[in-house]
A = this chain, B = another copy of it.
Amino acid sequence: MHKFVMGALCAIALHAETGADAWLRYAPLEGAALSGARQSMPAVLSLLDDSEPARSAQSEIVRGVRGMLGRTLRTASALPAEDALVLGTIEEIRRAAPDWHLDVAIPADGFWLKSVTAGGRHYLVVASADGRGILYGSFALLRRIALGGSLANLDEHQAPYAPIRWVNQWDNLNGSIERGYGGPSIFWENNTAREDLSRVSDYGRLLASLGIDGCSINNVNANPQVLTPEFLPNIQRIAAAFRPWGVRVVVAVDFGSPQSIGKLDSFDPLDARVAAWWKSTVDAIYRAVPDFGGFVLKADSEGRVGPSTYGRSHADAANVVARALAPHGGLLLYRGFVYDHHMDWRNPKNDRARAAYDNFHDLDGKFDDNVVIQIKNGPIDFQVREPASPLFGALEKTNQAIELQVTQEYFGQARHMVYLPPMWKEVLDFDLHAGTSATPVKALAAGKVFHRPTGGFVGVANVGMDQNWLGNHMSQANLYGFGRLAWNPDLTAAAIAAEWTRLTFGANETVDRTIEQMQLSSWRTYENYTGPLGLQTLTDITGNHFGVNVEASERNGWGQWHRADEKGAGMDRTSATGTGFAGQYRPEVARMYESMTTCPDDLLLWFHHVPYTHVLHGGKTVIQYIYDSHYEGAEAVEGYVRAWRRLAGLVDERRYQEVLAQLEYQAGQAEVWRDAVTNWFAHASGIADAKGRVGHYPGRFEAEQMELQGYTVHDVTPSEDASGGKAVGCAAASCTAALTYHGGPGWYTVRVQYFDQNDGASHYRLWIGKQLVDEWSADRKLPPTRRLDSTSSTRRQLTGVALRPGDQIRVEGVPDGAEPAGLDYVEIVKDDQ
């Protein structure tokens, strides 16, 4: 305990807003909130429970009250002879204070915040069934204080919606993280646990504040080494760092382990030696880590080995492992993300979306009770919009959990602001009509509909060593939102955004409204410029999942096809004429998707192939909607930049600057996406934008048409990744591209669209005549690309430039390393004033 109290005390002295404390900043209250909280807060904090989570709860309350109220509570382990804040299990409280007559059943991990007056004294009580409940109740109490809520007459019962509230980390043992955008692993370095695990403890604190009680600590594409006896001390150390926060360690395992590290000649799940190996391996783990949570297993998918090697079923595979875990109370989360990535794209009946259902629904009832099928929210893979996976509604005798992706793999990789809870809420609240009354996905996943022993929520978090955990401050809202929804999926996305914003940025009305509005609209905004109408995220799906590449989805076995061609777009997934995927849903849902009349516009091209001239319910043609939504999306991000700038001086300087830089970058990227996608569809469809925007860019000067010295013209692939399909690169020590300005005199913004690869740090200078007016370096390293493409395409803009007719505008590029100081275009835009 000593160690953690120290950490808590030290942190008080430091106020720099690095983002490390996320929503647990405990910033000082002011005014009425301060005086109210001080009045209600007794001086003594009594802890009746001796568990590690309960002791963390006590030091967390000391820390929080100290930060918010400027007071150091006195800790005690019994009821004092004065007013007190009392933490304990309901049993312990009944024993210590029988006269309070607190008689209520509290579910596991739940808590009761209760004001008690007895013997002329006033008590604030956090009662629970267990130590973890004390911790969760304490965080709830602190959140209430931070949000300015009253502590008078408390009587609040809370219990988690589902038993499973876990995060997965896709951390490789070498310290990298697959699809991680917040720096290297907090767990691993050089194939061993980090010497300093203080960030693991800090992460445990964040997770506990949300009620998350399990964390898998290595990539689902698992290194078999994690199950060797020599490796076990690493797991043990991480479990010790998490334990005070009630977070159980979970490990991702490789199904071939009995053979690859167990020295057997087989990993056949029906082989008794294999079962014995799993049993002895698991027993050893539990000897070292008695509160071990269990395993995550990805089998027969994307190159991972699985039961198919021996002609066995997923149930055979799951059960052999689960039976080793069962005696210890461990769970096996078996991933439903199983599909064939060598599918023939020429067969119009093939459909990756069918895979999860096809693989698992026949096995319903064949899985042991401690197996949970972990199902991604949508049938493909975390695309910008997908329908709920039909598998949620297809398993009645099998546990399930929903897998949501906190890390923004297909959502701009922490370079774009996208608040995901609105999307998750659509899925969680979606009624799959799997029963006689409402059966929303959240109830199915939680096991409520078919009365399963367990079920719940898994978030792929992928936090890293970056001080702000996820690579940018705004993305923290997604981790917060996942945790809050895992605890209570009935919360609205708006309520979560309001909580998070106030906790994270303070109680300024202007700041809070601005950030909430940005966050709540950001998913639609991102969808608008990356893949509307159910097209999926039109990114390079065989590459980095970040830049634009409309055709990357097609003509390969990965099955993320959108079937856009010269006549129309969309994947026919109807039962009548398509792949039959719509028929995997229960009839009510299937009927809705089967018909273009009832299928929502947002998913039209997911379920149907239509001509570009098809008229949507909103009255627009598909092609015009594609054009309009992309322009709207890009404009919305410009609006975020303007809105954020109005917060100057209201948000602490560090986060203000960091978020501003992120939003400005996103604004440039949104325009790259807009132009790439609209040009591709304009070219494919041959139908012009009715508003005349696509392909016409007043004020834009293509680099390839400028007066070039040293620069040479490159064809960009895919061609939509650069304006006009071409860019220029410099193979000399320095090159220039110049144009002569012929417009009227005035104040202008000059935008330079250049390419910032990760294999050099080119330097750029912008000249007007002989006057150097701007310079910068292309020194970003992420997202990674070594090419002139939409991933590297970046905007630099300078506002308030006086231009006069005849001015020569010149960009000078100085290459560095393998980066050729690439240039796409210069754009000149009149300033407002």
Contacts and interface: CB of A to CB of B under 8 A. Distances in A.
A744 to B, nearest CB: 12
A74 interface: yes
A684 interface: no
A773 B72 CA distance: 7
Given A9-B773, A775-B6, A15 B70 contact: no
Nearest to A77: B770
A801 to B, nearest CB: 5
A270 interface: no
Interface in A587-623: none
Interface core residue of A745, A772, A774 (most chain B CB under 10 Å): A772
B74 A804 contact: yes
Interface string A709-748: 0000000000000000000000000000000000001010
A298 to B, nearest CB: 44
Interface stretch (A121-129, A479-487, A651-659, A820-828): A651-659
Interface string A768-797: 111111111000000000000000000000
B75 A657 contact: no
A5 interface: yes
Contact of A66 (B69, B771, B800): B800
Contacts of A770: 75
Interface string A359-403: 000000000000000000000000000000000000000000000
A179 interface: no
A9 B772 CA distance: 9
A73 interface: yes
A800 B82 contact: no
A118 interface: no
Contacts of A72: 773-774, 798, 800-802
A38 B70 CA distance: 46
B70 A657 contact: no
Nearest to A765: B6
A70 B799 contact: yes
A43 interface: yes
A447 to B, nearest CB: 43
B16 A70 contact: no
B71 A802 contact: yes
Contact of A9 (B13, B17, B769, B774): B774
B75 A771 contact: yes
B15 A800 contact: no
A833 B747 CA distance: 56
Nearest to A801: B72
A44 B654 CA distance: 34
A802 B70 contact: no
Nearest to A35: B833
A690 interface: no
- A: interface residue count bin: 35 or more
A346 interface: no
Contacts of A2: 772
A70 B71 CA distance: 45
A333 to B, nearest CB: 39
Interface in A24-83: 28, 38, 43-44, 66, 69-75, 82
Contacts of A800: 66, 69-72
A74 B804 CA distance: 9
A21 B52 CA distance: 50
Interface in A741-772: 745, 747, 768-772
Contacts of A774: 9, 72
Contact of A745 (B38, B43, B69, B75): B43
A15 B745 contact: no
B802 A74 contact: yes
A104 interface: no
A5 B802 contact: no
Contact of A5 (B44, B69, B648, B772): B772
A798 B12 CA distance: 11
A38 B69 contact: no
Interface core residue of A13, A15, A44, A72 (most chain B CB under 10 Å): A72
A2 B771 CA distance: 9
A833 B38 contact: yes
Given A15-B657, A653-B654, A9 B775 contact: yes
A653 B17 contact: yes
Contacts of A804: 43, 74
Contacts of A771: 74-75
A72 B803 CA distance: 10
Contact of A653 (B15, B44, B66, B747): B15
A6 B772 contact: yes
Nearest to A65: B800
Contact of A10 (B44, B654, B775, B802): B775
Contacts of A775: 6, 9-10
Nearest to A748: B72
A355 B111 CA distance: 81
B17 A802 contact: no
Interface in A67-120: 69-75, 82
Contacts of A768: 74
A357 to B, nearest CB: 52
A99 B16 CA distance: 58
A795 B745 CA distance: 62
A74 B15 CA distance: 42
A745 B9 contact: no
Contacts of A10: 775
A675 to B, nearest CB: 26
Given A44-B802, A71-B802, 4 more contacts: A28-B648, A70-B800, A71-B747, A71-B801
10 contacts: A16-B654, A17-B653, A28-B648, A43-B802, A71-B800, A72-B798, A72-B801, A72-B802, A74-B804, A652-B653
Which 7 A-B pairs rank lowest in CB-CB distance, beginning with the nearest?
A71-B800, A43-B802, A74-B802, A70-B800, A652-B653, A72-B801, A75-B771
